[in-house]
Amino acid sequence: MDTSKLISLGLTEAESLIYYTVLKLGNCTVKQIAKECGFHRTNIYDILEQLKEKGLITFFKEGKTMKYNASDPNNLYELLKEKEEILDSILPDLKGLYNNSSDEIQVEIYKGVEGMKSAWRDMIKEGKTLYGFGVKGQLREKLPVFAEQWLRDIKKKKIQYYGIYTKRGNNPSYYTKIKYVSEELSGPVATFIYGDKININIWDPSLVSIVIKSKLVAEMYKKHFNLLWKIAKD
């Protein structure tokens, strides 16, 4: 199993490996855990305590020997639910601070795979009509699984999506209308306008997404989109 998926659920790298090891061995001692995963026994005790606090590890004494077992993996759902409840409780205060500190123009830069995903999820969260240009299926090429999830979600929220593509064929699974311009205008950058935000995606040589929040700037980009839309072909 790829323990990195457990890390994405909020466990540390060490917690993920120890939890997976205990789950695999069942009713095991610290000595057995150490032999299986290569961790020092002293560190394993600390990690087991952390996992016990998260409700993911149980323990019992067999004679003079302490043994450990993994809790039902469904407890991971409870862990996520607990974090969601904590976030819900502090979100109003966080939003208040965010709104009070916001300038007229906000610029946020997201880097890497997870950063790019966060930027694209913002389009879904805003729920506004999407206008994209310089598009040639970069998201489906770089992040195919996430791309299908994203397209599914904008369809579910009934978000209209107008795209100006520089490459024909292999259209996305969901869109409102697509037009095409010459491949000479193709490049490593795609731009999306939604509400008062602009998402500028740089796909090569590394993944970078620049999100600008400004009503004035968004209006200017929308005018640029409208000009391209007039000359683009079905």
DSSP-assigned letter for residue 163: E
Residues 122 and 48 placed together within one structural domain of the fold:
no
CA distance 231 to 186: 15
Residues 125 and 196 placed together within one structural domain of the fold:
yes
> CA neighbours within 13 Å on the CB side: how many for 93?
5
Residues 182 and 120 placed together within one structural domain of the fold:
yes
**Cβ contact 209:192 at 8 Å:** no
Mean pLDDT, to the nearest integer, of 184-210?
92
pLDDT at 170: 77
Closest CA to 215 of 200, 196, 199: 196
- Structurally, the chain folds into a number of domains equal to 2
| Domain ranges, residue 177 | 105-231
Domain-located, residue 145: yes
Alpha-carbon separation of residue 28 from 11, 22, 38, 132, 234 (angstroms): 21, 7, 15, 55, 64
pLDDT at 98: 66
Domain-located, residue 80: no
Question: Does the structure show a pLDDT above 70 at 164?
Answer: yes
Question: Does the structure show a pLDDT above 70 at 177?
Answer: yes
Cis peptide before 205 (omega within 30 of 0): yes
Residues 48 and 155 placed together within one structural domain of the fold:
no
CATH of the domain at 14: 1.10.10.10
Angle among Cα 81, 84, 87 to the nearest 5 degrees reads: 155
Mean pLDDT for the chain? 88
pLDDT at 208: 94
Locate 115 and state its tokens: 């950063």
pLDDT at 103: 53
Per-residue model confidence as pLDDT tens digits over 101-156: 555 788 899 999 999 999 999 999 999 999 999 998 899 999 999 999 999 999 99
Locate 78 and state its tokens: 């409870």
CA distance 140 to 160: 18
Residues 203 and 112 placed together within one structural domain of the fold:
yes
Amino acid at 12: T
Per-residue model confidence as pLDDT tens digits over 37-69: 888 888 899 999 999 988 899 888 888 888 999
pLDDT at 184: 81
pLDDT at 42: 85
Residues 142 and 209 placed together within one structural domain of the fold:
yes
Locate 18 and state its tokens: 């120890």
pLDDT at 99: 64
Mean pLDDT, to the nearest integer, of 156-171?
89
* Beta-bridge mates of residue 213: 106, 197
